[in-house]
Amino acid sequence: MTADGADSSKPDRLTYAQAGVDIAAGEMAVEAIKAHVRSTFRPEVVGDVGGFGGLFAIGKLGYSDPVLVSSTDGVGTKSLIARLTRRFDTIGIDLVGTADDIAAQGAEPLFFLDYISVGKLVPEMIDDLVRGIAEGCRQAGCALIGGEMSEHPDLMSPGDFDLVGFAVGVVERDQILPRDVKAGDRVVGIASPGLRCNGYSLARRALLDRAGRSLDAPAWKGAATTLGEELLRPSVIYAPALAAIRRRVKVHAFAHVTGGGIPGNLVRVLPHGCDGVVHRGRWEEPRIFGEVQEAGDVADDEMEQVFNLGLGMLVVVAASDVERTIDTARSAGHDAWLVGEITDGHGNARVTRK
């Protein structure tokens, strides 16, 4: 026995920290992110950071027949690029791209929740990640009202992390999109300057594994950015522009171009009696897509099924509304082009090269 009565023959008592979970670091991270979270609050947010659940007063919005719209997504293997470059302040913006899924159905994004899992909780990294999420929420106009961070020793290695986001919005029942899509409509494409969060497994294999490119080297000859910076270019948040377009024209459909590329997402808004056709060459394709294709010797049809090729959102409108749609998108800060049309058909979508 020791002087204080403890049994010295017993092994050291195990703590949670020795098991790999640092409660103190978690508390530090929560304190660090509070200002970021509060910066996203809307008047409808009830309470403050720290409750068991986020509260949002939907009755204050003034909808007559509201329908809630929800969506969830992650950032995928783009997180590996953030880890390799040790830059975590932009990938949270990508996470909020899921708010564009609900905006594509005509909804106003209201609030957002995040889930951050890590191998080892480092408050500075969490601060950077949540700073990006908050920036994305401010761009989308939605409040960050809840979240969770969890430390998973043994399941994940130190430095590993994953992000998942959950967005909720509201739309009047009679304004839910798509609606009234018909042959003769036109397709307007809104620019995406980078890959967003799609196709990174293929991009990494092509650029890093096959071509042996360095993330610290120029993205291409004469580029002002490194390859790492180009691959971490944050997603465009389209929700405010979509709301502005809906105010000016009768939108028949929005198609958010994510996994599945242009044809795989345009087909989701087509009625059975219509086809959608998008013509490559009618918009400016960011160079990063050509770099991926050349490095991996990727076929055209594979590129079209995996990447957005520079169009992050498609807008289906009547032919008479094309110019107004393009002007509104450009006024909101996005390049836009007439890129295709809706024809008679059987509910299929395709990309042509004419």
Q: What is the pLDDT of residue 4?
A: 56
Instruction: Please state, in angstroms and rounded to a whole number, the distance separating the CA atoms of residues 133 and 202.
Output: 25
Q: What is the pLDDT of residue 30?
A: 87
Task: Verify that 74 and 196 share a domain, yes or no.
Answer: no
158 found inside a domain: yes
The total of structural domains in the chain comes to 2
Task: Verify that 193 and 132 share a domain, yes or no.
Answer: no
Instruction: Please state, in angstroms and rounded to a whole number, the distance separating the CA atoms of residues 57 and 92.
Output: 25
User: Which CATH number does the domain housing residue 233 bear?
Assistant: 3.90.650.10
Other residues' Cβ atoms within 10 Å of the Cβ of residue 121: 25
Q: What is the side-by-side order of every strand in the sheet holding 66-74?
A: 66-74, 161-172, 108-118, 143-151
Q: What is the pLDDT of residue 248?
A: 97
Q: What is the pLDDT of residue 339?
A: 98
Place of tokens 């002087």: 3
Q: 188, 339 in Cβ contact below 8 A?
A: yes
* 0.85 surpassed by pTM: yes
Question: Where does a domain end: 175, 202, 224?
Answer: 175
73 found inside a domain: yes
107 found inside a domain: yes
Residue 177 φ then ψ, to 5°: -105, 150
Q: What is the pLDDT of residue 104?
A: 98
12 found inside a domain: no
Instruction: Please state, in angstroms and rounded to a whole number, the distance separating the CA atoms of residues 43 and 28.
Output: 27
Q: What is the pLDDT of residue 26?
A: 86
Question: Where does a domain end: 175, 199, 217?
Answer: 175
Q: What is the pLDDT of residue 244?
A: 98
Instruction: Please state, in angstroms and rounded to a whole number, the distance separating the CA atoms of residues 238 and 48.
Output: 27
User: Which CATH number does the domain housing residue 90 bear?
Assistant: 3.30.1330.10
Task: Verify that 218 and 153 share a domain, yes or no.
Answer: no
Low-confidence spans in the chain with pLDDT less than 50 = none
Instruction: Give the residue from 150, 146, 120, 123 showing the smallest Cα distance to 133.
Output: 146
Question: Where does a domain end: 175, 196, 217?
Answer: 175
Question: What domain range includes position 263?
Answer: 186-352
Instruction: Please state, in angstroms and rounded to a whole number, the distance separating the CA atoms of residues 266 and 328.
Output: 21
Task: Verify that 137 and 205 share a domain, yes or no.
Answer: no
234 found inside a domain: yes
268 found inside a domain: yes
16 found inside a domain: no
235 found inside a domain: yes
Coil, strand or helix at 314: strand
Q: What is the pLDDT of residue 32?
A: 85
Q: Give the chain's largest Cα–Cα span.
A: 90
